[in-house]
Chain A
Amino acid sequence: MNIVTRYASPKHFSALAKRLAPWMGATAGILLTLGLYWGLLIAPTDYQQGDGYRIMFVHVPAAWMSLIIYVVMTGCALATLIWRTKISEYWLLSSPLLGASFTFLTLVTGSLWGRPMWGTWWVWDARLTSELILLFIYLGIMALEGAIPDRRKAARVVSMLTLVGSVNIPIIKFSVDWWNTLHQPASIFRAGGPAIHPLMLIPLFLMAGAFTCYYFCLVLWKIHKQIKGKHV
């Protein structure tokens, strides 16, 4: 309990964030190098898609991040609305731009992948459409935040919008099971274990680790900067 209340105070959290952020950044860099090297040079070619499948090593971790960041934001939104904790407000307001960026990266890499394999850049199936809606939700959150000058008031309003948008997350995840889609079902987090060769799975997780550390690095750094800016 002591440790929780200690780091719930912006001053202490800011110091912690300042110390952690560079480590997160360095870890992200190392994991990214390893992941790209393994993904592009060590991982075997796919029996169906040849070398074209390798865009997966960016596409899939980016798609995970687009969902995970939203789940983290939903947690922050709940904490903000229930306990009015300042750190959850900072965290919530520092996340949407990164979430939107990963969602955009997911859509672009997916489109580049779809053209040679499926034969189309884009279709309006349930998976692709729900992911596009996620991008609009992130952009809406950013616009809403920008429209309210008072940071604490903005955090509370953004929290409500974040909660409303959270219904889209399970829809994205299960869209491929609930409806017929062009997009294939889940390869990794599915009943019966991953349907993917271990030598391809390892670089996927390395890249996911890199993206996660990158997210933490930037969020912690942004929070540190904001708190510092307020107290100077």
Chain B
Amino acid sequence: MMLFSRLHQRRMSFLIFVLVSLAIAAFFMLRALNENLLFYFTPSDIVAGKAPLNHLFRAGGMVENGSIKRSGLTVQFRITDLHQKITVIYTGLLPDLFREGQGVIVHGKTDKTGVFTAEEVLAKHDEKYTPPDVAHTLRDQQRLQQDHP
């Protein structure tokens, strides 16, 4: 049996052509859809005016340390992407993972003063999985390095 006869080579080049065309088509389709495929805007995007005004949208960032203020079921906090921050107000139940330093995604809209009123708060978690004692050791080491550079 000839594995790479003329006929096989012809079929192969045709299939490579098909696959490359598909990849190119997919690339341009995704590029056109790029904005819609973003699940959330970062605080920098919002400050730069990229987020829609008077429309519901999602904002994502880290809950700033020490920024959480609670009164009853209403909670106010700031989310940051380490460049910009926005203030968020939310009334309702929070997911288990909501805490300082946690990545969250909030769904709602901004008012004229730039305060974001959220209708929904989702918690992101990172890709790291480790037992609690290891996490503590790592955090202590990082703190040591920050305190004594």
Give me the interface of A with B, judged by CB distance under 8 Å: 5, 44-49, 53, 56, 78, 81-83, 116-120, 123-126, 163-164, 166-167, 171, 178-182, 184-187, 190, 195-197, 199-200
Of A49, A53, A179, A185, most buried by chain B (CB within 10 Å of CB) is A179
Nearest 4 Cβ contacts at the A-B interface: A119-B95, A47-B135, A44-B131, A125-B39
- Across the interface, do A119 and B127 meet the contact criterion of CB distance under 8 Å? no
Which of B11, B30, B95, B125 touches A184 (beta carbons < 8 Å)?
Answer: B125
Q: Least Cβ distance of B90 to chain A in Å?
A: 11
- Given A81-B15, A82-B15, A117-B97, CB of A181 within 8 Å of CB of B39: yes
Which of A49, A164, A185 touches B22 (beta carbons < 8 Å)?
Answer: A164
Q: Which residues of A contact B3 (CB under 8 A)?
A: 83
CA distance A187 to B95 in the complex (A): 22
Which residues of B from 18 to 52 have beta carbons under 8 Å from A?
Answer: 18-19, 22-23, 26, 30, 34, 37-40, 42
Nearest A residue to B135 by beta-carbon distance?
A: A47
Q: Least Cβ distance of A1 to chain B in Å?
A: 8
- Across the interface, do A119 and B123 meet the contact criterion of CB distance under 8 Å? yes
Q: Which residues of B contact A199 (CB under 8 A)?
A: 131
Q: Least Cβ distance of A85 to chain B in Å?
A: 10
- Across the interface, do A117 and B121 meet the contact criterion of CB distance under 8 Å? no
CA distance A117 to B15 in the complex (A): 44
Q: Least Cβ distance of A167 to chain B in Å?
A: 4
Chain B's interface size range is 35 or more
Q: Which residues of B contact A195 (CB under 8 A)?
A: 126-129
CA distance A197 to B131 in the complex (A): 7
- Does B85 sit at the interface, judged by CB under 8 A? no
Which of B18, B40, B42, B122 touches A118 (beta carbons < 8 Å)?
Answer: B122
6 pairs of residues in contact across A and B, judged by CB atoms under 8 Å: A118-B124, A119-B95, A119-B121, A125-B39, A163-B22, A180-B60
- Given A163-B22, A167-B22, A182-B105, CB of A49 within 8 Å of CB of B40: no
- Given A49-B97, A81-B15, A163-B19, CB of A179 within 8 Å of CB of B129: no
Which of A46, A126, A181 touches B130 (beta carbons < 8 Å)?
Answer: A46
CA distance A178 to B37 in the complex (A): 9
Which of A44, A78, A180, A184 touches B15 (beta carbons < 8 Å)?
Answer: A78
- Does B1 sit at the interface, judged by CB under 8 A? yes
Q: Which residues of A contact B147 (CB under 8 A)?
A: none
Q: Which residues of A contact B132 (CB under 8 A)?
A: 44-47
CA distance A174 to B70 in the complex (A): 38
- Does B53 sit at the interface, judged by CB under 8 A? no
- Does B69 sit at the interface, judged by CB under 8 A? no
Nearest A residue to B25 by beta-carbon distance?
A: A167
Q: Least Cβ distance of A141 to chain B in Å?
A: 16
Nearest B residue to A127 by beta-carbon distance?
A: B39
- Across the interface, do B26 and A167 meet the contact criterion of CB distance under 8 Å? yes
List 17 other contacts, CB 8 Å, given A117-B97, A197-B130. A5-B1, A45-B132, A48-B97, A117-B95, A117-B123, A118-B125, A119-B122, A124-B39, A126-B39, A163-B19, A180-B39, A180-B40, A182-B39, A184-B125, A187-B128, A190-B127, A197-B131
Which of B11, B19, B39, B95 touches A179 (beta carbons < 8 Å)?
Answer: B39
- Does B12 sit at the interface, judged by CB under 8 A? yes
Which of A82, A117, A123, A126 touches B8 (beta carbons < 8 Å)?
Answer: A82
CA distance A184 to B60 in the complex (A): 13
CA distance A167 to B22 in the complex (A): 7
What mask results when residues 84 to 114 of chain B are scored 1 for a CB within 8 Å of chain A, else 0?
A: 0000000000111110000001000000000
